[in-house]
Amino acid sequence: MPTSSGNRRALLKVVVAAAALATTTVVLPGAAPASAATTADGFASVNALGQNGTTGGAGGAVVTATTTAQFLDYIARPQPLVVQVKGTITLPTGTSDGMHDVASDKTIIGLGTDAKLVGGGLNIGLPVDDDVTSPPADAVHNIIIRNLAITGATDDLINVQMFSHHIWIDHNDFSNGDDGAVDIKRGSDFVTVSWNRFHDHDKTLLLGHDDDNGAQDIGRLRVTYHHNYFDGSDQRNPRVRFGESVHVYNNYYRDNSYGVASAMNAGVVLEGNYFFSVNNPGRVDFSGDLGRMVARDNILVECNHAIEVRGSVVEPRTYYSYSLDRAADVPTIVPAGAGTGRI
């Protein structure tokens, strides 16, 4: 019996819907599907230091942590592992000031909309050693951290140090840390910080910790910051020493004392960002030696100072390709897509 035109239309709708479900990621209400990349981009995607992009625990077992003991066990294991976090995990202070080491080849990802780490932070990197001035063979590498709220740490929320490389920090919510939200220092390299929300926090992003650390940092600290929501996070968004290139694009700044500071001859490309009510959106005359900054296609609204520019900077396209959103669209795109519950 021939199928009626109404039935044919209904069948077609079912087929189309099934095909779409098979090829797209299911997202929760309020999410922004276009923002939820499945692979690392920016500097974390670069083939370098023996690591072709950032894959985290891909290929390893998938485990779920619901307790502190499980979580600390899983993140310290030497093999590739995908660690799913369910619910709230409290990290103890103990003798480490609440900082807990993450071993190489890990994906740490929150399940749903309420996965949270409280009371402590994550340390990505070997112990500090000022005498090491080039990447050691056992440098921590290939880490992905996504879809987690991290809050209330007694030190940093995330600390990346000692030549750690290929780190992707994406779609997280950071607040109320005692020191930095995401600090990257001591020769760390090839890092992307994307689609995160930073709020209720003072010293947000430190890139390069000290004016005297050129021996470890010069020629490294290559980091991409894109589509982050600096939601009243006061300062260091980021504060940069030595790193080049540092790529800061399509971020939304709202009510900050300053946005980006470049010092100690760091090289920052600042493009396609939207600054609303930011006292100093971009500075090269800050403290220590002057930095360098190239600025283009940024929008400043109710800001007290212009972006300071100086010199030239190695272009990020030397390392990777990327597409810019229009700066005028950033206040809509970024708050809708940044933070947890959107991957």
Residues annotated catalytic, as ranges: 236
Please state, in angstroms and rounded to a whole number, the distance separating the CA atoms of residues 120 and 118.
6
Question: The tokens of 282 are what?
Answer: 């971009």
Give the CA dihedral 96, 116, 54, 25, nearest 10 degrees.
Answer: 170
* C-alpha distance from residue 168 to each of 8, 71, 178, 264 (Å): 46, 19, 22, 25
Please state, in angstroms and rounded to a whole number, the distance separating the CA atoms of residues 276 and 160.
29
Please state, in angstroms and rounded to a whole number, the distance separating the CA atoms of residues 200 and 174.
8
What is the Cα 193 distance to its own chain's centre?
Answer: 2
Helices (H), 37-81: 68-76
In this structure, the strands spanning 51-52 and 47-48 are antiparallel
Instruction: Determine the length of the chain.
Output: 343
Sequence-distant (6+) residues with CB within 8 A of 163 are 125, 126, 132, 134, 135, 136, 139, 186, 187, 188, 189, 216, 220
Sequence-distant (6+) residues with CB within 8 A of 271 are 248, 249, 294, 295, 296, 297, 298, 324
Q: What is the DSSP string of 316-341?
A: GGGT----PPPGGGHHHHHHHHSSSS
